[in-house]
Homo-oligomer: A and B are copies of this chain.
Amino acid sequence: MSVQGALEGRPVIIVGAGFGGLFAARRLARGGAQVVLIDRRNFHTFTPLLYQVAAAELEPEEIAYPVRTIFRGQRNVRIVLGEVQRVDVLARTLQVGQLVLDFGDLILATGSTTSFFGVQGAPEHTLPLKTPGDAVRLRSHILGCLEQAALQPEKAERMRLMTFVIVGGGPTGVEYAGALAELIRGPLARDFPLLDLREVRVILVEASRTLLGVFPERLGEYALRRLRGMGVEVRLAARVLSVGWRSLNFEEGRALEAASVVWTAGVRDGPAPARWGLPTARDGRVPVESTLQVAGHPHVYVVGDGAYIELDGAPLPMLAPVAIQAGEAAADNILRTAVGRPARAFRYRDKGTMATIGRNKAVAILGGRGFSGFVAWVIWLAIHISSLIGFRNRLLVLTNWAWDYLFFERGVRLIDPNP
Protein backbone atom coordinates (compact mmCIF):
# COMPACT_ATOMS: atom_id res chain seq x y z
CA MET A 1 0.00 0.00 0.00
CA SER A 2 1.41 3.38 -0.92
CA VAL A 3 1.83 6.15 1.62
CA GLN A 4 -0.62 8.26 -0.34
CA GLY A 5 -3.27 5.54 -0.30
CA ALA A 6 -2.80 4.80 3.38
CA LEU A 7 -3.11 8.45 4.37
CA GLU A 8 -5.98 9.35 2.09
CA GLY A 9 -8.71 8.93 4.67
CA ARG A 10 -8.18 10.97 7.80
CA PRO A 11 -5.59 13.73 7.60
CA VAL A 12 -2.65 14.30 9.88
CA ILE A 13 -3.44 17.33 12.03
CA ILE A 14 -0.60 19.47 13.34
CA VAL A 15 -1.31 22.00 16.06
CA GLY A 16 1.20 24.86 16.05
CA ALA A 17 3.25 26.39 13.22
CA GLY A 18 6.42 27.02 15.22
CA PHE A 19 9.63 25.17 14.38
CA GLY A 20 8.33 21.72 15.38
CA GLY A 21 4.99 21.98 13.58
CA LEU A 22 6.36 23.68 10.48
CA PHE A 23 9.09 21.14 9.82
CA ALA A 24 6.71 18.25 10.55
CA ALA A 25 4.23 19.68 8.02
CA ARG A 26 6.94 20.08 5.37
CA ARG A 27 8.15 16.53 5.77
CA LEU A 28 4.61 15.10 5.72
CA ALA A 29 3.57 17.22 2.74
CA ARG A 30 6.54 15.98 0.74
CA GLY A 31 5.70 12.44 1.81
CA GLY A 32 2.25 12.78 0.22
CA ALA A 33 0.16 12.93 3.39
CA GLN A 34 -2.97 15.03 3.74
CA VAL A 35 -2.04 17.66 6.34
CA VAL A 36 -4.09 20.19 8.31
CA LEU A 37 -1.87 22.78 10.01
CA ILE A 38 -3.57 24.84 12.71
CA ASP A 39 -2.19 27.96 14.39
CA ARG A 40 -3.60 30.96 16.24
CA ARG A 41 -1.44 33.23 14.09
CA ASN A 42 -1.17 33.36 10.32
CA PHE A 43 2.62 33.47 10.44
CA HIS A 44 5.63 31.47 11.58
CA THR A 45 8.09 33.34 13.80
CA PHE A 46 11.86 32.92 13.64
CA THR A 47 12.16 33.18 17.42
CA PRO A 48 16.00 33.21 17.70
CA LEU A 49 15.98 36.78 16.36
CA LEU A 50 13.08 38.11 18.46
CA TYR A 51 15.51 39.96 20.71
CA GLN A 52 16.61 42.05 17.72
CA VAL A 53 13.03 43.23 17.20
CA ALA A 54 12.92 44.22 20.88
CA ALA A 55 16.20 46.12 20.36
CA ALA A 56 14.74 48.07 17.40
CA GLU A 57 17.15 46.42 14.99
CA LEU A 58 14.71 44.35 12.97
CA GLU A 59 10.99 44.71 12.33
CA PRO A 60 8.57 41.90 13.18
CA GLU A 61 7.80 41.08 9.55
CA GLU A 62 11.49 40.45 8.90
CA ILE A 63 11.44 37.46 11.24
CA ALA A 64 7.92 36.27 10.47
CA TYR A 65 6.48 34.70 7.36
CA PRO A 66 2.86 33.85 6.43
CA VAL A 67 2.20 30.12 6.84
CA ARG A 68 -0.04 30.06 3.77
CA THR A 69 2.77 31.40 1.62
CA ILE A 70 5.22 28.79 2.91
CA PHE A 71 2.88 25.99 1.81
CA ARG A 72 1.54 27.72 -1.29
CA GLY A 73 2.82 25.07 -3.69
CA GLN A 74 1.49 22.15 -1.63
CA ARG A 75 -2.12 21.28 -2.41
CA ASN A 76 -2.20 18.60 0.31
CA VAL A 77 -1.61 21.09 3.15
CA ARG A 78 -4.68 22.89 4.47
CA ILE A 79 -4.09 25.91 6.73
CA VAL A 80 -6.54 26.72 9.49
CA LEU A 81 -6.27 29.93 11.48
CA GLY A 82 -7.79 29.44 14.90
CA GLU A 83 -7.46 28.30 18.48
CA VAL A 84 -7.90 24.62 19.28
CA GLN A 85 -10.67 24.33 21.86
CA ARG A 86 -10.75 20.62 22.49
CA VAL A 87 -8.93 17.44 21.52
CA ASP A 88 -10.49 14.02 21.98
CA VAL A 89 -7.56 11.62 21.68
CA LEU A 90 -9.78 8.55 21.89
CA ALA A 91 -12.36 9.56 19.28
CA ARG A 92 -9.51 11.20 17.29
CA THR A 93 -11.38 14.46 16.77
CA LEU A 94 -10.39 18.05 17.40
CA GLN A 95 -12.41 21.24 17.61
CA VAL A 96 -11.14 24.57 16.24
CA GLY A 97 -13.63 27.43 16.21
CA GLN A 98 -16.90 25.86 15.09
CA LEU A 99 -15.15 23.20 13.02
CA VAL A 100 -14.81 19.63 14.26
CA LEU A 101 -12.06 17.77 12.43
CA ASP A 102 -11.21 14.06 12.42
CA PHE A 103 -7.58 13.06 12.42
CA GLY A 104 -5.64 9.95 11.65
CA ASP A 105 -2.54 11.10 13.50
CA LEU A 106 -2.02 14.21 15.60
CA ILE A 107 1.17 16.19 16.20
CA LEU A 108 0.99 18.63 19.09
CA ALA A 109 3.61 21.35 18.66
CA THR A 110 2.03 24.00 20.84
CA GLY A 111 5.25 25.45 22.23
CA SER A 112 5.91 26.92 25.63
CA THR A 113 4.97 29.86 27.79
CA THR A 114 7.12 31.90 30.16
CA SER A 115 7.94 30.37 33.53
CA PHE A 116 8.21 32.80 36.43
CA PHE A 117 9.38 30.18 38.97
CA GLY A 118 6.81 31.53 41.43
CA VAL A 119 8.57 34.90 41.77
CA GLN A 120 5.99 37.24 43.27
CA GLY A 121 4.93 40.09 40.98
CA ALA A 122 6.90 38.78 38.00
CA PRO A 123 3.87 37.90 35.81
CA GLU A 124 2.34 41.38 36.27
CA HIS A 125 5.42 43.61 36.39
CA THR A 126 7.93 42.12 33.97
CA LEU A 127 8.00 42.24 30.18
CA PRO A 128 8.21 38.89 28.37
CA LEU A 129 10.03 38.21 25.11
CA LYS A 130 8.29 35.24 23.53
CA THR A 131 6.29 36.60 20.56
CA PRO A 132 6.63 39.38 17.95
CA GLY A 133 3.93 41.23 19.91
CA ASP A 134 6.04 40.99 23.09
CA ALA A 135 9.08 42.27 21.21
CA VAL A 136 7.24 45.30 19.77
CA ARG A 137 5.73 46.13 23.17
CA LEU A 138 9.16 45.86 24.81
CA ARG A 139 10.72 48.14 22.19
CA SER A 140 7.92 50.68 22.62
CA HIS A 141 8.23 50.51 26.41
CA ILE A 142 11.97 51.18 26.37
CA LEU A 143 11.71 54.05 23.89
CA GLY A 144 8.78 55.45 25.89
CA CYS A 145 10.85 55.37 29.11
CA LEU A 146 13.58 57.41 27.45
CA GLU A 147 11.00 59.91 26.14
CA GLN A 148 9.65 60.31 29.67
CA ALA A 149 13.15 60.61 31.09
CA ALA A 150 13.85 63.45 28.64
CA LEU A 151 11.02 65.44 30.28
CA GLN A 152 11.78 64.46 33.89
CA PRO A 153 13.57 67.09 35.98
CA GLU A 154 14.02 64.91 39.13
CA LYS A 155 17.19 62.86 39.00
CA ALA A 156 15.98 59.86 41.04
CA GLU A 157 12.89 59.39 38.90
CA ARG A 158 14.89 59.97 35.74
CA MET A 159 17.36 57.27 36.74
CA ARG A 160 14.55 54.85 37.54
CA LEU A 161 13.18 55.44 34.02
CA MET A 162 16.62 54.74 32.57
CA THR A 163 17.34 51.54 34.52
CA PHE A 164 16.75 48.46 32.37
CA VAL A 165 16.95 45.11 34.14
CA ILE A 166 17.09 41.82 32.25
CA VAL A 167 16.45 38.72 34.35
CA GLY A 168 18.05 35.54 33.01
CA GLY A 169 21.61 35.00 31.79
CA GLY A 170 20.80 32.41 29.12
CA PRO A 171 21.23 33.12 25.40
CA THR A 172 18.16 35.41 25.16
CA GLY A 173 19.16 37.49 28.17
CA VAL A 174 22.81 37.80 27.09
CA GLU A 175 21.89 38.67 23.50
CA TYR A 176 19.27 41.21 24.53
CA ALA A 177 21.52 42.89 27.12
CA GLY A 178 24.22 43.37 24.49
CA ALA A 179 21.81 44.63 21.83
CA LEU A 180 20.13 47.02 24.26
CA ALA A 181 23.44 48.49 25.44
CA GLU A 182 24.42 49.08 21.81
CA LEU A 183 21.06 50.62 20.94
CA ILE A 184 21.18 53.06 23.84
CA ARG A 185 24.82 54.08 23.59
CA GLY A 186 24.72 54.31 19.79
CA PRO A 187 21.68 55.64 17.92
CA LEU A 188 19.68 56.70 20.99
CA ALA A 189 22.58 58.74 22.34
CA ARG A 190 22.43 60.70 19.09
CA ASP A 191 18.62 60.98 19.22
CA PHE A 192 18.56 62.24 22.83
CA PRO A 193 21.38 64.79 22.97
CA LEU A 194 20.02 66.35 26.17
CA LEU A 195 19.97 63.12 28.18
CA ASP A 196 23.01 62.26 30.27
CA LEU A 197 23.52 58.70 29.19
CA ARG A 198 25.84 57.99 32.08
CA GLU A 199 22.57 57.80 34.02
CA VAL A 200 21.43 54.82 31.91
CA ARG A 201 21.95 51.38 33.42
CA VAL A 202 21.55 48.04 31.67
CA ILE A 203 21.66 45.31 34.34
CA LEU A 204 21.73 41.59 33.58
CA VAL A 205 20.69 39.39 36.51
CA GLU A 206 21.49 35.66 36.65
CA ALA A 207 20.71 33.32 39.53
CA SER A 208 23.63 30.94 38.90
CA ARG A 209 27.36 31.71 39.03
CA THR A 210 27.89 31.76 35.23
CA LEU A 211 26.33 33.19 32.11
CA LEU A 212 25.20 30.94 29.25
CA GLY A 213 24.90 27.76 31.35
CA VAL A 214 24.37 25.63 28.24
CA PHE A 215 27.81 26.60 26.88
CA PRO A 216 31.26 25.56 28.12
CA GLU A 217 32.45 27.76 30.98
CA ARG A 218 35.12 29.47 28.87
CA LEU A 219 32.48 30.94 26.54
CA GLY A 220 30.33 32.11 29.44
CA GLU A 221 33.37 33.96 30.79
CA TYR A 222 34.01 35.49 27.39
CA ALA A 223 30.40 36.75 27.26
CA LEU A 224 30.77 38.20 30.77
CA ARG A 225 33.94 40.12 29.81
CA ARG A 226 32.37 41.41 26.59
CA LEU A 227 29.16 42.57 28.25
CA ARG A 228 31.04 44.34 31.04
CA GLY A 229 33.24 45.97 28.40
CA MET A 230 30.05 47.28 26.77
CA GLY A 231 28.93 48.85 30.03
CA VAL A 232 26.38 46.18 31.02
CA GLU A 233 26.27 45.56 34.80
CA VAL A 234 26.22 41.78 35.20
CA ARG A 235 25.05 40.43 38.56
CA LEU A 236 25.78 36.73 39.00
CA ALA A 237 24.39 34.54 41.79
CA ALA A 238 21.64 37.12 42.23
CA ARG A 239 18.21 35.62 42.88
CA VAL A 240 15.12 37.76 42.36
CA LEU A 241 12.72 37.50 45.31
CA SER A 242 9.89 39.72 44.02
CA VAL A 243 9.09 42.33 41.41
CA GLY A 244 6.96 45.38 42.08
CA TRP A 245 5.54 48.16 39.96
CA ARG A 246 8.64 50.33 40.39
CA SER A 247 11.37 48.03 41.68
CA LEU A 248 12.66 44.54 42.20
CA ASN A 249 13.98 42.84 45.33
CA PHE A 250 16.75 40.29 45.63
CA GLU A 251 16.88 37.36 48.03
CA GLU A 252 19.96 38.75 49.74
CA GLY A 253 17.92 41.82 50.73
CA ARG A 254 18.97 44.46 48.21
CA ALA A 255 16.42 46.34 46.09
CA LEU A 256 16.67 48.05 42.71
CA GLU A 257 14.50 50.86 41.33
CA ALA A 258 13.72 50.16 37.69
CA ALA A 259 10.94 51.08 35.27
CA SER A 260 11.73 48.14 32.98
CA VAL A 261 12.25 44.53 34.00
CA VAL A 262 12.56 42.04 31.13
CA TRP A 263 11.98 38.38 31.99
CA THR A 264 13.95 35.83 29.97
CA ALA A 265 14.59 33.43 32.83
CA GLY A 266 12.50 30.42 31.94
CA VAL A 267 9.99 28.61 29.78
CA ARG A 268 7.37 26.00 30.54
CA ASP A 269 4.70 24.29 28.52
CA GLY A 270 1.35 25.93 28.01
CA PRO A 271 -1.57 24.36 29.92
CA ALA A 272 -3.39 23.01 26.86
CA PRO A 273 -2.21 19.35 26.65
CA ALA A 274 -3.09 18.71 30.30
CA ARG A 275 -6.63 19.95 29.63
CA TRP A 276 -6.93 17.50 26.78
CA GLY A 277 -6.33 14.49 29.04
CA LEU A 278 -2.68 13.87 28.24
CA PRO A 279 -0.18 13.02 30.99
CA THR A 280 2.15 15.86 31.97
CA ALA A 281 5.45 16.13 33.82
CA ARG A 282 6.06 18.60 36.62
CA ASP A 283 6.82 21.54 34.31
CA GLY A 284 3.68 20.89 32.25
CA ARG A 285 5.48 19.15 29.38
CA VAL A 286 4.08 15.90 27.99
CA PRO A 287 6.43 12.91 28.43
CA VAL A 288 6.79 11.02 25.16
CA GLU A 289 8.29 7.66 24.27
CA SER A 290 11.54 7.50 22.32
CA THR A 291 9.39 7.44 19.13
CA LEU A 292 7.80 10.80 20.20
CA GLN A 293 4.43 9.08 20.66
CA VAL A 294 2.46 9.53 23.88
CA ALA A 295 2.38 6.26 25.86
CA GLY A 296 -0.95 4.51 25.23
CA HIS A 297 -1.84 6.92 22.38
CA PRO A 298 0.21 5.80 19.38
CA HIS A 299 -1.61 8.28 17.10
CA VAL A 300 -0.61 11.28 19.21
CA TYR A 301 2.88 12.77 18.88
CA VAL A 302 4.27 15.70 20.86
CA VAL A 303 7.28 17.71 19.62
CA GLY A 304 9.04 20.96 20.46
CA ASP A 305 9.07 22.81 23.77
CA GLY A 306 5.86 21.02 24.81
CA ALA A 307 7.47 17.57 24.72
CA TYR A 308 9.46 16.08 27.58
CA ILE A 309 12.02 13.93 25.75
CA GLU A 310 14.58 12.07 27.83
CA LEU A 311 17.65 10.86 26.03
CA ASP A 312 20.40 9.01 27.92
CA GLY A 313 18.75 9.94 31.19
CA ALA A 314 18.66 13.74 30.64
CA PRO A 315 15.79 15.81 29.17
CA LEU A 316 16.49 17.58 25.87
CA PRO A 317 16.62 21.39 26.10
CA MET A 318 13.75 23.57 24.83
CA LEU A 319 15.57 24.88 21.75
CA ALA A 320 14.67 25.42 18.09
CA PRO A 321 17.03 22.70 16.71
CA VAL A 322 15.46 20.08 19.01
CA ALA A 323 11.96 21.11 17.85
CA ILE A 324 12.94 20.99 14.17
CA GLN A 325 14.53 17.55 14.39
CA ALA A 326 11.70 16.14 16.53
CA GLY A 327 9.08 17.52 14.11
CA GLU A 328 10.77 15.79 11.21
CA ALA A 329 11.18 12.56 13.19
CA ALA A 330 7.49 12.51 14.18
CA ALA A 331 6.53 13.09 10.52
CA ASP A 332 8.80 10.22 9.45
CA ASN A 333 7.21 7.92 12.01
CA ILE A 334 3.71 8.79 10.79
CA LEU A 335 4.76 8.06 7.21
CA ARG A 336 6.37 4.77 8.34
CA THR A 337 3.48 3.49 10.45
CA ALA A 338 1.01 4.38 7.67
CA VAL A 339 2.58 1.64 5.55
CA GLY A 340 2.91 -0.83 8.40
CA ARG A 341 6.54 -0.18 9.27
CA PRO A 342 7.49 0.33 12.93
CA ALA A 343 8.12 3.79 14.39
CA ARG A 344 11.78 4.58 15.02
CA ALA A 345 13.41 6.04 18.12
CA PHE A 346 14.28 9.75 17.85
CA ARG A 347 17.97 10.62 17.90
CA TYR A 348 18.93 14.25 18.50
CA ARG A 349 22.04 15.48 16.71
CA ASP A 350 23.53 18.48 18.48
CA LYS A 351 24.78 20.60 15.59
CA GLY A 352 25.88 23.45 17.82
CA THR A 353 24.68 26.34 19.92
CA MET A 354 25.50 30.00 19.62
CA ALA A 355 24.76 33.44 20.96
CA THR A 356 25.77 36.89 19.80
CA ILE A 357 26.96 39.65 22.11
CA GLY A 358 26.64 42.92 20.29
CA ARG A 359 28.32 44.10 17.14
CA ASN A 360 30.89 41.66 15.73
CA LYS A 361 31.06 39.42 18.78
CA ALA A 362 29.54 36.03 19.46
CA VAL A 363 30.14 32.67 21.06
CA ALA A 364 29.46 29.34 19.35
CA ILE A 365 30.00 25.64 19.80
CA LEU A 366 30.00 23.74 16.55
CA GLY A 367 30.98 20.12 16.17
CA GLY A 368 32.25 20.13 19.73
CA ARG A 369 34.59 23.10 19.13
CA GLY A 370 34.12 26.42 20.88
CA PHE A 371 34.47 29.73 19.00
CA SER A 372 34.34 33.28 20.25
CA GLY A 373 34.74 36.81 18.83
CA PHE A 374 34.44 37.87 15.22
CA VAL A 375 34.72 34.37 13.72
CA ALA A 376 31.80 33.18 15.87
CA TRP A 377 29.82 36.26 14.87
CA VAL A 378 30.28 35.56 11.15
CA ILE A 379 29.21 31.94 11.68
CA TRP A 380 26.21 33.15 13.68
CA LEU A 381 25.24 35.59 10.92
CA ALA A 382 25.55 33.02 8.14
CA ILE A 383 23.55 30.37 9.98
CA HIS A 384 20.75 32.70 11.01
CA ILE A 385 20.35 34.28 7.61
CA SER A 386 20.31 30.97 5.80
CA SER A 387 17.70 29.64 8.26
CA LEU A 388 15.25 32.46 7.70
CA ILE A 389 12.27 31.25 5.75
CA GLY A 390 11.66 32.99 2.44
CA PHE A 391 14.23 34.62 0.24
CA ARG A 392 12.69 38.05 0.72
CA ASN A 393 13.09 37.91 4.50
CA ARG A 394 16.73 36.94 4.11
CA LEU A 395 17.29 39.89 1.81
CA LEU A 396 15.57 42.37 4.12
CA VAL A 397 17.39 41.18 7.21
CA LEU A 398 20.71 41.26 5.40
CA THR A 399 20.01 44.83 4.22
CA ASN A 400 19.13 45.88 7.74
CA TRP A 401 22.19 44.28 9.23
CA ALA A 402 24.49 45.71 6.60
CA TRP A 403 22.98 49.14 7.26
CA ASP A 404 23.45 48.73 10.99
CA TYR A 405 27.00 47.51 10.55
CA LEU A 406 28.10 50.24 8.17
CA PHE A 407 26.41 53.20 9.82
CA PHE A 408 26.24 52.17 13.50
CA GLU A 409 22.57 53.00 13.13
CA ARG A 410 19.40 51.13 13.88
CA GLY A 411 16.73 51.10 11.25
CA VAL A 412 13.56 51.97 13.00
CA ARG A 413 12.55 53.22 16.37
CA LEU A 414 8.81 53.71 16.14
CA ILE A 415 6.87 53.61 19.37
CA ASP A 416 4.03 51.19 18.70
CA PRO A 417 2.54 52.59 15.50
CA ASN A 418 -0.43 50.25 15.76
CA PRO A 419 -2.77 51.78 18.35
Q: Write the residues of chain A forming the contact surface with B, with a CB cutoff of 8 angstroms.
A: 41-43, 59-61, 64, 66, 68-69, 72, 75, 78-82, 97-99, 131-133, 136-137, 143-144, 147, 150-151, 187, 190-194, 392, 395-396, 399, 403, 411-419
Inter-chain contact A417/B81, CB cutoff 8 Å? no
Inter-chain contact B418/A151, CB cutoff 8 Å? no
Q: A60-B418, A68-B191 are in contact. List 10 more A-B contacts (CB 8 A).
A: A43-B414, A68-B192, A72-B190, A81-B144, A98-B151, A136-B417, A136-B418, A137-B418, A396-B399, A416-B418
23 A-B pairs within 8 Å (CB atoms) are namely A41-B417, A42-B415, A43-B414, A59-B61, A60-B414, A60-B417, A60-B418, A61-B417, A64-B414, A66-B414, A72-B190, A78-B194, A81-B147, A81-B151, A82-B151, A98-B151, A99-B151, A132-B417, A132-B418, A133-B419, A136-B417, A137-B418, A396-B396
Measured CA separation A161–B371 after assembly (Å) = 54
Inter-chain contact B64/A417, CB cutoff 8 Å? yes
Inter-chain contact A417/B192, CB cutoff 8 Å? no
Measured CA separation A191–B43 after assembly (Å) = 12
Inter-chain contact B80/A151, CB cutoff 8 Å? yes
Instruction: Select which of B187, B403, B411 is within 8 A of A61 by beta carbon.
Output: B411
Inter-chain contact B193/A42, CB cutoff 8 Å? no
Measured CA separation A396–B133 after assembly (Å) = 22
Chain B residues within an 8 Å CB radius of A137: 418
CB distance from A35 to the nearest CB of B (A): 14
- Taking the full assembly, how many copies of this chain does it contain? 2
Inter-chain contact A75/B193, CB cutoff 8 Å? yes
Chain B CB count within 10 A is highest, among A68, A191, A396, A417, for A417
Chain B residues within an 8 Å CB radius of A82: 151
CB distance from A175 to the nearest CB of B (A): 20
Knowing A69-B191, A417-B133, say if A412 contacts B41 (CB, 8 Å): no
Measured CA separation A59–B75 after assembly (Å) = 29
Chain B residues within an 8 Å CB radius of A42: 143, 147, 413-415
Measured CA separation A310–B99 after assembly (Å) = 59
Instruction: Select which of B41, B75, B144, B395 is within 8 A of A415 by beta carbon.
Output: B41
Instruction: Select which of B43, B191, B392 is within 8 A of A66 by beta carbon.
Output: B191
Chain B residues within an 8 Å CB radius of A144: 81
Inter-chain contact B99/A61, CB cutoff 8 Å? no
A143's closest neighbor in chain B, by CB? B42
A42's closest neighbor in chain B, by CB? B415
Measured CA separation A61–B42 after assembly (Å) = 20
Inter-chain contact B136/A43, CB cutoff 8 Å? no
CB distance from A398 to the nearest CB of B (A): 11
A188's closest neighbor in chain B, by CB? B68
Inter-chain contact A413/B69, CB cutoff 8 Å? yes
A151's closest neighbor in chain B, by CB? B99
Measured CA separation A66–B413 after assembly (Å) = 6
Chain B residues within an 8 Å CB radius of A99: 151
Measured CA separation A133–B66 after assembly (Å) = 20
Knowing A80-B151, A151-B82, A399-B399, say if A418 contacts B133 (CB, 8 Å): yes
Chain B residues within an 8 Å CB radius of A415: 41-43, 81
Inter-chain contact A97/B151, CB cutoff 8 Å? yes
